[in-house]
Structure 1
Amino acid sequence: MHPSLVCHDLTFGWPSGETVFTQLDAVFPAGLTGLVGRNGVGKSTLLKIFAGELSPTSGRLSVPTSIGYLPQNLVLAEELTVADVLGIGEVVAALRRIDAGAGEPADFETVGDEWDVEARSAAVLTRFGFADVDLDRTIGTLSGGEAVLIALAGLFVAGPDLLIMDEPTNNLDVAARERLFEAVASWRGTAIMVSHDRALLELVDSIAELREGSLRFFGGNFSAYTEALAIEQEAAARGVRSAEAEVRRQRRDLIEAQTKLDRRQRFARSQSDNLPKIVANAKRNQAEGSAAKLRGGHEADLAEARQRLEAAEERVRDDDVIRIELDSTLVPPGRDVLILDDVVLRHGVRVSAHLRGPERIGLLGPNGAGKTTLIDTVRGAIQPRSGSVDLRVPHRLLPQRLQVLDDDLTVLAGVSKLAPGADDNTLRAQLARFLLDADMIARPAGSLSGGERFRASLAALLLSEPPPQLLILDEPTNNLDLDSVRQLTAALCAYRGALLVASHDQPFLEDIGLTGQLELGAP
């Protein structure tokens, strides 16, 4: 396969002076490539450079002639029509004037060779689940997820040499995600996508990992990538153990050599009393030189062993996992947690459910079915039209945008506000288990990166008083990188209470051990 995109010595820094990456070299192959890495490492920035929305500070970039770009936070003007978003608005308007007998020469020029554009667009729209959509329909009448799919359909209609997508599955429901997966799997060109969606990453031909300012490529899909990393890290761990053993051996050899030298020098001093002074001094100098040479050799071997250990340790990743014990959140089996008795939500959806501890329930349904409305109703933020909500245990909500801590307060102060009975030393120890060190918890919450804010928000909820015995999560994996999803999964596996989780991320739901599901339909 010929390379589709080449970076040489690519450097990018913000006007504030913050450097994102330096002298990046990479060759992206043809086919589908998934770009992964931690939040804040520069994935979206790199895609914007590829798409021409940002210019590198220095270096060279070779890209295909035509590029289609789907940004992460797609904002479309509500007055745009479907035809406009597909990029065929002017052609469709010209065709209609020609069909009505009012065509001008400029209209024929606009149409060019695109006489079948409506039929081709209809075929693409059908693939994305819009078989009967009117090209004149405005985007403002569609849901956010539908607008994303229409925009992606437009890129398929255009057929660029390179398709770039940044978190395309964000805010898509299960049905929309399935349509996206089918479309991506059918793409025959080159595509680069940033995604935390493991199911989508299973469709790619290669994985590009952006880590510590460098790009590294792995052949195969996400499963192949994780398997390769696991094998690599196992070998790295063996290398560390071997290097540690070598350091211990060299240290032991140095101690033994030093002991022998000390013994030999004591013996030499006892014998020198019977020798002439000049002879004794010569022997002493010779012995000290030999001792220094021998000691220096052992010290050099120990220094080399330590260097090999440092190199081996660098190959072991420091992607820490949250490890916590949350016995205080335990809900005994069978205890009533939440009872929804014939509840009618404000938009007409009817729900009945009985959640007992420590059950883990997935809240499912298409966009617009009322999942967030149900969550707000359970919490008492809004009232149902009818029916009763009986919430019998302390609860906490992890919202999509992580609005848990006050931006102006330090992390420690914000968590302390939710857990007033805990002293600062106890909280510091607990926060460290959430991978929040002393420097991090002394900073204002508003200054944290995405991954740091996620961990701080999760810690604040789980350490709050009274301990939450029902944790409610609303699309928790949206905008989280794969490491953060892994950390969230580890924390939820340690959580002892009941869970109510609204999510379209099926692998995540499976990993946290769902015991049931509540599916909302249309009113």
Structure 2
Amino acid sequence: MSIASSHIVCTSLTFSWPDGTEVFDDFQLAVGPGRTGLIGLNGCGKSTLLKLVAGELSPSQGTIKTFGEVGYLPQNLVLDTRLRVDEVLRIDRVRAALHAIEGGDADAEHFTVVGDAWDIEERSLATLDQLGLGHIGLDRTIGELSGGEGVLLKLAALLLARPDVLLLDEPTNNLDLRARRRLHAAVAAWPGVLVVVSHDRDLLEQVDQIADLRDGEVRWYGGNLSAYEEALTVEQEAAERMVRVAEADVRRQKRDLTDTQQKLARRKRYGQKMQDTRRVPKVVASALKRKQQVSSGKETTLHQGRLQEARERLDEAVEALRDDDEIRLELPATLVHPGQGVLRLSGLRTRYGPPLPQEFEVRGPERIALVGRNGAGKTTLLRTVMGELEPVEGEAETLVPARFLPQRLDVLDDGLSLVENVARFAPDATQNRVRARLARFLFRGARADRPAGTLSGGERFRASLAALLLAEPAPRLLLLDEPTNNLDMASVRVLVSALKNFEGALVVASHDLPFLESIGITRWLLLSEEGLRDTTPRELARE
């Protein structure tokens, strides 16, 4: 990709966190027109890179040049709940001037503020409607909206501003199925430069190219996620063949070196024998010995060189293979017998949710998917069940040890190290046991001493899960709120594998249908304004 056509250019970029953890060293990047999907393992620096390009962080060395205005939607969006919708859209001053003019105030300043934006309200409402937010209006406050609606509202502000470069970091996190489809459509229709970090497969099918961030470098693949996976499969099959060829060459060179050494040893013994039996004159024997030593040295050096070259080719072939570390979840004994009660709701009414059935019970190793639109009250219900929120009336009773992994991953203290955080949940565990548990989640050695506040979204998920699963007693009921948010695809696969082996009961709130179907959900519950009712994946897909 030529620099002249690029809208983002990073040159010799170096960045480390305050604790010394290096993210980029002499990093180079040039992003041109089109929609780019930025992918990579958790912790490789995807979100950090977007923050650097957006100006939220500053590199210690190197330069970042962007051509045109940059719009940025962060992964963890925080909006002031006191703001009005028009303030988030940044049209409040223009609206105020318009309303003043309509009210008869002909001050020239109002006309200056309005400029050519006489239809700003109509365009704003049309953009909100495009994203399914037409019902919220322009005068409501952020505190009245759900988290997913807040994400879409910020995206609406970016669509209205039409920046030259749009950066989206995990934009579908916390969005319900309908909102995800609307965002997918907005991305597919984006005419400018767009870079999106996501684990959402459907979203990554909308991009023009994939940028794979790995080991501090970016490799480019033309096409969407499916094209990338096909290309990667071909690459890895070729790399595996090269490894097999290189391994065979190393074995052959080792044999040749061994054969040469044995042959030279036989020659040496024969020459020594001839000299000992005085079959040749001493002068001749000495000359033959010197000649043999020179020849032996040359042959040995030749074969050692060939072996070294073969080993280097093997190392290069192995480097081309992907052997990504994956989290290893070893869940403790969590068996719940069929029919055993694990959760009972009696006349429960939550603070923000709809009325629930008078009596509701979860029994045995049921796997329940809790689905519903943004703002339906799923998170409120889970937090009420765990006792974090007081019910308006009725009660929720957990009948077995339960653990809750919240959507915001706020179980960690940002000021403490990972070791210290996990130790809070298991005060009787030894330091070695805590570190061993963290190692299974890829926090080995000094990485376990990092402050929680420096972690990426996926790393924070792993650390939070490690803390909860080390806690005693072992959980027999797991409540998970959007667990695949911020996880790379490899980590999602491992999470699926772990949950398949979990013998307790599961209640999972998620908008990720492929994930839910992969963990063996036995019951689908839809939470809506009408209450809680059974549903099916097919019915959800039609919504």
Q: Flag whether TM exceeds 0.5 (same fold).
A: yes
Q: CA deviation at 1:375?
A: 1.9
> Is 1:260–2:263 an aligned residue pair?
yes
Which residue of 1 is the match for residue 238 of structure 2?
Answer: 235
In 2, the alpha carbon distance for the partners of 1:78 and 1:414 equals 32
Q: CA deviation at 1:388?
A: 5.4
Which residue of 1 is the match for residue 299 of structure 2?
Answer: 294
Which residue of 2 is the match for residue 395 of structure 1?
Answer: 402
* Preserved contact between residue 68 and residue 164 of structure 2 (Cα < 8 Å): yes
The TM-score normalised by the length of structure 2 is 0.85
Unmatched 5+ stretches in structure 2: 532-543
* Preserved contact between residue 321 and residue 486 of structure 1 (Cα < 8 Å): no
In 2, the alpha carbon distance for the partners of 1:320 and 1:408 equals 25
In 1, the alpha carbon distance for the partners of 2:432 and 2:59 equals 45
Give the letter aligned to residue 256 of structure 1.
Answer: D
Give the letter aligned to residue 219 of structure 1.
Answer: G
In 1, the alpha carbon distance for the partners of 2:486 and 2:473 equals 29
Pair 1:433–1:246, CA change in 2 (3 A): farther
* Preserved contact between residue 416 and residue 427 of structure 1 (Cα < 8 Å): no
Give the letter aligned to residue 284 of structure 1.
Answer: K
Partner residue of 1:358 out of 365, 377, 380? 365
> Is 1:146–2:134 an aligned residue pair?
no
Pair 1:436–1:163, CA change in 2 (3 A): closer
Pair 1:130–1:400, CA change in 2 (3 A): closer
Cα offsets for 1:278-330 (capped at 9, x unmatched): 21111111112211211111111111111111111211223122345547223
Identity %: 52
In 2, the alpha carbon distance for the partners of 1:403 and 1:376 equals 13
Q: CA deviation at 1:439?
A: 5.2
Which residue of 2 is the match for residue 349 of structure 1?
Answer: 355
Pair 1:117–1:370, CA change in 2 (3 A): closer
> Is 1:201–2:208 an aligned residue pair?
no
Which residue of 1 is the match for residue 14 of structure 2?
Answer: 12
Moved more, 324-333 or 146-155: 324-333
Partner residue of 1:493 out of 500, 503, 510? 500
Partner residue of 1:320 out of 297, 320, 325? 325
Which residue of 2 is the match for residue 411 of structure 1?
Answer: 419
In 2, the alpha carbon distance for the partners of 1:375 and 1:141 equals 20
Q: CA deviation at 1:110?
A: 2.5
In 2, the alpha carbon distance for the partners of 1:212 and 1:152 equals 31
Give the letter aligned to residue 259 of structure 1.
Answer: Q
In 1, the alpha carbon distance for the partners of 2:438 and 2:84 equals 49
Q: CA deviation at 1:447?
A: 7.6
Unmatched 5+ stretches in structure 1: none
In 1, the alpha carbon distance for the partners of 2:494 and 2:87 equals 41
Which residue of 2 is the match for residue 449 of structure 1?
Answer: 455
* Preserved contact between residue 133 and residue 149 of structure 2 (Cα < 8 Å): no
Which residue of 2 is the match for residue 247 of structure 1?
Answer: 250
Moved more, 344-353 or 309-318: 344-353
Which residue of 2 is the match for residue 484 of structure 1?
Answer: 491
> Is 1:107–2:107 an aligned residue pair?
no
In 2, the alpha carbon distance for the partners of 1:109 and 1:401 equals 43
Which residue of 2 is the match for residue 166 of structure 1?
Answer: 169
Partner residue of 1:225 out of 213, 220, 228? 228
Q: CA deviation at 1:24?
A: 2.9
Partner residue of 1:124 out of 127, 130, 134? 127
* Preserved contact between residue 199 and residue 507 of structure 1 (Cα < 8 Å): no
Q: CA deviation at 1:482?
A: 3.9
Which residue of 1 is the match for residue 534 of structure 2?
Answer: none
Pair 1:160–1:362, CA change in 2 (3 A): same
Q: CA deviation at 1:172?
A: 2.8
In 2, the alpha carbon distance for the partners of 1:140 and 1:404 equals 23
In 2, the alpha carbon distance for the partners of 1:408 and 1:54 equals 22
Pair 1:365–1:240, CA change in 2 (3 A): same
Q: CA deviation at 1:487?
A: 3.4
Local SS of the residue matching 1:35: strand
Q: CA deviation at 1:127?
A: 0.6
> Is 1:82–2:85 an aligned residue pair?
yes
Cα offsets for 1:229-255 (capped at 9, x unmatched): 233223223322322222222212212
Partner residue of 1:461 out of 458, 461, 468? 468
Alpha-carbon RMSD across the aligned residues, in angstroms, is: 3.2
Give the letter aligned to residue 337 of structure 1.
Answer: V
